[in-house]
Structure 1
Amino acid sequence: MSFLAPTTSSSTLFSESPLARKLCAMPKAELHMHIEGSLEPELIFALAERNGVTLPYPSVDALRDAYAFTDLQSFLDIYYAGASVLLTEQDFYDMTWAYVERAVADHIVHTEIFFDPQTHIARGVPVEVVVNGISRALDDAEARHGLSSRMILCFLRHLSEEDAFATLASAEACFKTVPRLIGVGLDSSEQGNPPEKFARVFARCEALGLRRVAHAGEEGPAQNIRDALDLLHAERIDHGVTAIEDQALLQRLAAEKIALTVCPLSNVKLKVFDDMTAHSLPMLLDAGVAVTLNSDDPAYFGGYLNTNYLAVFEALPLGEETGYLLARNSLEAAFATDEEKARWVAQLDAFWAQTPAA
């Protein structure tokens, strides 16, 4: 089965097309978004001024100009510098609320937010400050906008297993007291930090009943995806775009309905693919893999969720049915109850039936 559609005329600006409007307005979920990666330069400077933090950039424009990444590590260097302005619970609230407003504008009905406590603990910020600021904003988002959400604590893979265990121990009380904090993930530099490094940490998390995801197959080989499944018992794979290197793995992902949380603009910005036309998304879809679209670190990579949808559908000859499939995949792959997912899918079906794309 092919998900490619005839290429539309280049004379029509895609972002103004009926399909583009439909993609932007449809209900959808976002399952791969690092909240620290939503810090826009303007907010970074505002928080720096509030907290008396000196940044190594003279202006907002200078900071934005530094977003010329050559690979994942060059991005991470700036990412951690930006996070240095986050010190108080209100800082984490303000950062999260800024994302909430964009999520609501993008018609996101459910979001699963990654956060990196080790980045903040190393600066003397307790994990409770991080969790409480984010969760309070998400509580308000649900009350005011009906936005469903979960939180996923991510371990930094460039740090040690010992550090990850210590972070888990410091957060155990939060897992018990914050209902929307439901799982753990693994992010940061994939090169040189294979999944096996954290097998014992994830075993402990599984014993605690936590949901588990892991970055794999972004810059690393397809084998990292296999290891994340087999050694970490990951329930979803974040990125996973190098799965196309291994046909047997593709068949397994499809058969076991393992969702991939793919981040197209991030992949291009970090040089995983030369440009969007070279992205592996069509091959993943043709293999029957449950692909979802996500924004990763939207402040750094050029756009939030709808911008990722538009970039993909403008660059690749994808049909209307693929838009529906990607949205449905995102809803069904969420760490939510069957009742919640059924309700969201019903909303999507109703929207899709009532909204023409041509």
Structure 2
Amino acid sequence: MTDLSAFIRGLPKAELHLHIEGSLEPELMFELARRNRVALPFKTVEEVRTAYAFSNLQDFLDIYYQGAQVLLTEEDFQDLAMAYFRRVAADGCRHVELFFDPQTHTDRGVPFQVAVDGLLAGMKAAEGAFGITSKLILCYLRHLDEDAAFATLKAAEPWLDRITGVGLDSSEVGHPPSKFARVFKASRERGLKLVAHAGEEGPPEYVWEALDILGVDRIDHGNRSLEDARLVERLAREGMTLTVCPLSNLKLCVVDDLKVHPLKRMLGLGLHATVNSDDPAYFGGYLGENWTASATAVGLTRDELVTLARNSFEGSFLGEAEKAQYLAAVDAYVAAN
């Protein structure tokens, strides 16, 4: 296992499904709470970790939004980003496409500019410190209405040259992708890439809607696609990237045991799966832990690990020349190891 862990750690890889607010560790939460004089409903780090015993997506979201209350200044968002990049640098990550939820912050009075400028500063600092490139994806909260999403898109306009895409996250069940058809169309017209959470807790029909109504470039999660053979065939044929999050799926009871996680089956079906951490502070594992735990649980082969690494760069929103450089780095690493 040690050899496998070392091989995974050194393997160049990208992370395509990471909610930066979900990387807020309890220690940093308390530090920011003290700095900003925010009262927390927890007395200790241990109390926070105990509260991370979720049984479903909504339980998680409730505490996720509660934790975000400590993020108030550009410095807070920059510190949050740097703390994440410091962790993921140790996992062999070379490129990240991170999600942020502006409505989580603007709805509590934090200006859009504060969040985005802080994150962009952290991303720039991380590239200098760790050599990790990154792109920023703005997510619309699906439990809010489409008008609120349009307001967020409007607020984002001064930064659209620094925002790569838009996504759709938060409570999935009862909020189908079709609810956001117009704002996704408007986002595409502004030159943004499109992604959406679909098929995590929601049915395969949500994946169809994300493809046919939203016209997404990537599917986030997509586990329940496997319930629909025709959908699987289409995803494989089109080479649609799925940003799979194994430890998140376990923590939120999308799977009962990591040994029955569909990741290996996805690869066997020709699906363009990738491994990601989702909300690592809450789900008990950053990128490397997701890779190692999955490889052990479902018996991923060395070739399958290399496929996952290549998928992560091929499914990214990097330019073709940049993709080629990262893929060459994967090939060189494999040849040397």
Instruction: Say yes or no: TM over 0.5.
Output: yes
Q: Which amino acid aligns with 1:111?
A: V
Task: Provide Cα deviations, 1:321-347, integer angstroms capped at 9, x if missing partner.
Answer: 110000000011110010100000000
Corresponding residue number in structure 1 for 2:192: 210
Q: Does the 8 Å contact 1:265/1:303 carry over to 2?
A: yes
Contact 1:184/1:211, CA 8 A, preserved across alignment? yes
Count of aligned positions: 337
Unaligned runs of 5+ in 2: none
Q: Secondary structure at the match of 1:84?
A: helix
CA distance in 1, matches of 2:128, 2:34: 30
The answer as to 2:7 corresponding to 1:25 is no
SS for the counterpart of 2:88 is: helix
How far, CA to CA, are the matches of 1:187 and 1:144 in structure 2? Answer: 30
Does the Cα contact within 8 Å between 1:244 and 1:283 map onto a contact in 2? no
| Structure 1 match to 2:277 | 295
1:185-206: CA deviation from partner (whole Å, max 9, x where unpaired): 0000001000000000100001
Partners of 1:241 and 1:191 lie apart in 2 by 14
| Greater length-normalized contact order (CA 8 Å, ≥ 6 residues apart) | 1
State how far apart, in whole Å, the 1-side matches of 2:309 and 2:67 are: 31
Match of 1:322 among 297, 301, 304: 304
What's the offset of the Cα at 1:104?
A: 1.1
Structure-2 separation of matches of 1:27 and 1:297: 21
4+ runs of 1 displaced by more than 4 Å? none
Partner AA of 2:229 in structure 1: Q
**Over aligned residues, Cα RMSD in angstroms?**
0.7
Match of 2:262 in 1: 280
After superposition, the C-alpha distances for 1:18-47 in whole angstroms (9 at most, x for unaligned) are 122101111100000000000000000000
Q: Which runs of 5+ in 1 are unaligned?
A: 1-13
Correspondence for 2:234 among 252, 257, 264: 252
Corresponding residue for 2:213? Answer: 231
**Aligned twin of 1:39:** 24
Letter in 2 for 1:31: L
C-alpha distance after superposition, 1:53-106 (max 9, x if no partner): 001111111011111001000000000000000000000000000001112111
Deviation at 1:278? 1.4
TM normalised by structure 2 equals 0.99
Q: Which of 144, 147, 158 lines up with 1:162 in the alignment?
A: 147
Aligned residue type for 2:280: P
Match of 2:336 in 1: 354
The C-alpha deviation readout for 1:279-312, integer Å capped at 9, x for no partner, is: 1112211110000000000000011000001110
Tell me how far apart the structure 2 counterparts of residues 282 and 252 of structure 1 sit (CA, whole Å). Answer: 18
Distance 2:316 2:31 in 1: 33
Alpha-carbon distance in structure 1 between the residues aligned to 2:92 and 2:295:
18
Asked whether the 8 Å contact 2:137–2:165 carries over to 1, the reply is yes
Identity %, equivalent residues: 54
The aligned residue for residue 3 of structure 1 is none
